Amino acid sequence: MHPALDPAHDHLSTPLLAVSAEGVVEAANTAGGQWFGVSLRRLAGLPLAALEVQGDALVRALAAGGDPAAMGRPIAPMAATGVIRLPRLALAYPGAAPRFAEAWLTPRDGGGWLLELHPVDEFPGGDPVAALPLALAAALKGLAHELRNPLAGLKGAAQLLARRIPGDDAASRELVELVDSEVGRLAQLVDRLLDPAPPNPHAPLNVHAVLERVLRLAEADAGWGVKLVRDYDPSLPELHGDLDRLVQATWNLVRNAIEAGAGEVVLRTRAEHGARIGSELHALALRLDIVDDGRGVPDELAEQVFVPLVSGRAEGSGLGLALAQQVAREHRGSLAFRSRPGHTVFTLLLPYAALPVAPDAGAGPDDGGSEDRGEAGGRAAGDAGAGSVTDGDG
């Protein structure tokens, strides 16, 4: 290996490039070659500018010597280490499709830089939430104001209907109660848009109770037209969060799948160990996958799918995914997706709070075995649907 890189770097899964003071790639570790999809020999000798698909942020960072004032781009200098962090760059070997990564530049002893790449799937390009114009916020408030009266009418109609249901018709009464509950939840959302308030305090909740409520909504909405499949990890511990907001986010994702023509929608929960969310590394996180076999996300919308009012359907509002993204952020999590026709996966990652371990504690949360990505220790999910693994529901 080139002396600019330590042989130990080849054992890392993080792509690394050694770059000269002039901005030329001197060497890369194995992960770096794999990420760019070429051999290490082809990377060596390339100017860094040839790898940057959009803009010249890396070149300007090197030319400025890491000085934020001279770079003309928002950056995050990391105190005491001299590392410069450049968010969400589009990079590729010349002629290849671009990939996105957060770049960390570290000065090397004797000159040059070590370029560390942390791949990201979410928001290729700038963060649309940060760029959201004030006019759009005003439009959302106007929409919320217009929704108030219809919601009040729906709530009144549901209450009148409940009085007319015979006492022995439990199924109809349950559906009316579901309508009344959802109208109340939407009314709270409207109030929050019109008069933003601090979020509700998070409390322990069973994520499978959230999913069962969403499945009940999906059954009422899609009937027998869509096969709904549970694929739950029953060993997941309780999550701290806002149940209503998580129901809202998950229902938006499931409803999008149904409206994309899915014949089957799978709700899958797993434990994710060592999950990186943004710049933070979490020992344990909940991974919720919503998998469908619908038409997928159109290529022209892939980079804007989380932007409010952007929709692939003429009748769509374009608010569902934006709200789901906001709920993920409220829980310090992330929402990302991958899609092709016939297979789309939206992944919600929510970190578990780090809890202190008593000195005399026994087995830790990593004890035992589990399929797929492993399991989280703690209480088994107690919800009626939490113990099932890949059971179909129509």
Distance separating alpha carbons of residues 141 and 134, to the nearest angstrom: 11
Task: List the CATH code of the domain at 203-393.
Answer: 3.30.565.10
Q: What number of other Cβ atoms are within 10 A of residue 337's Cβ?
A: 19
pTM metric for this prediction = 0.48
The full set of domain ranges for the chain reads 7-119, 128-197, 203-393
Question: What's the pLDDT at 373?
Answer: 36
Q: What is the band of 193 on the pLDDT scale with cuts at 50, 70, 90? A: low
Distance separating alpha carbons of residues 96 and 367, to the nearest angstrom: 43
Question: What's the pLDDT at 230?
Answer: 95
Distance separating alpha carbons of residues 163 and 153, to the nearest angstrom: 16
* Alpha carbon 141 to chain centroid, angstroms: 25
Question: What's the pLDDT at 302?
Answer: 67
Q: What number of other Cβ atoms are within 10 A of residue 31's Cβ?
A: 17
- Write the CB contacts of 138 (distance below 8 Å, at least 6 apart in sequence): none
pLDDT single digits (tens) 249-271: 999 999 989 988 899 999 999 99
Per the listing, tokens 């899964």 go with 13
Per the listing, tokens 């909405």 go with 221
More confident residue, 128 or 54: 54
Domain 7-119 has CATH 3.40.50.620: no
How many angstroms separate the first and last alpha carbons of the chain? 57
- Residue 113: beta bridge partners? 19, 107
Order of strands, sheet of 264-277, starting from the edge strand that comes earlier in the sequence:
334-340, 343-351, 280-292, 264-277, 227-231, 391-393
**Across 66-80, 125-139, 286-300, least confident range:** 66-80
pLDDT single digits (tens) 202-235: 899 999 999 999 999 888 887 778 899 999 999 9
pLDDT single digits (tens) 76-106: 444 445 678 887 788 889 888 888 888 898 8
Distance separating alpha carbons of residues 278 and 261, to the nearest angstrom: 32
What region, left, alpha or beta, does residue 45 occupy, with left being phi > 0 and alpha being psi -120 to 50 degrees? left
Question: What's the pLDDT at 195?
Answer: 57
Question: What's the pLDDT at 165?
Answer: 85
**Three-state SS at 377:** coil
Q: What is the band of 316 on the pLDDT scale with cuts at 50, 70, 90? A: very low
**Across 6-10, 13-17, 358-362, least confident range:** 358-362
CA-to-CA dists, residue 121 to 90, 124, 297, 314, angstroms: 11, 7, 14, 27
pLDDT single digits (tens) 106-138: 888 878 888 899 887 644 444 555 545 455 556
Do 108 and 81 form a contact (C-beta atoms < 8 A)? no
Q: What number of other Cβ atoms are within 10 A of residue 84's Cβ?
A: 23
Structure tokens of 373? 């990505």
- Out of 30-39, 160-169, 192-201, 298-307, the most confident range is 30-39
Angle between helices 207-222 and 243-259 (to 10 degrees): 40
Question: Taking every pair of C-alpha atoms in the chain, what is the biggest distance, in angstroms?
Answer: 84
Distance separating alpha carbons of residues 353 and 365, to the nearest angstrom: 13
The DSSP annotation for 252-317 comes to HHHHHHHHTT-SEEEEEEEEEEEEEETTEEEEEEEEEEEEE-SS---GGGTTTTTSTT--SSTT--
Q: What number of other Cβ atoms are within 10 A of residue 364's Cβ?
A: 8
Question: What's the pLDDT at 74?
Answer: 41
Instruction: Tell me, letter by letter, the H, E, C secondary structure of 154-181.
Output: HHHHHHHHHHHCCCCCHHHHHHHHHHHH
Nearest alpha-carbon partner for 93 in 124, 125, 127, 47: 47
pLDDT single digits (tens) 339-356: 888 999 999 999 998 644
**Would the pLDDT of 391 be above 50?**
no
The DSSP annotation for 53-67 comes to SSS-HHHHHHHTTT-
Structure tokens of 388? 């099932």
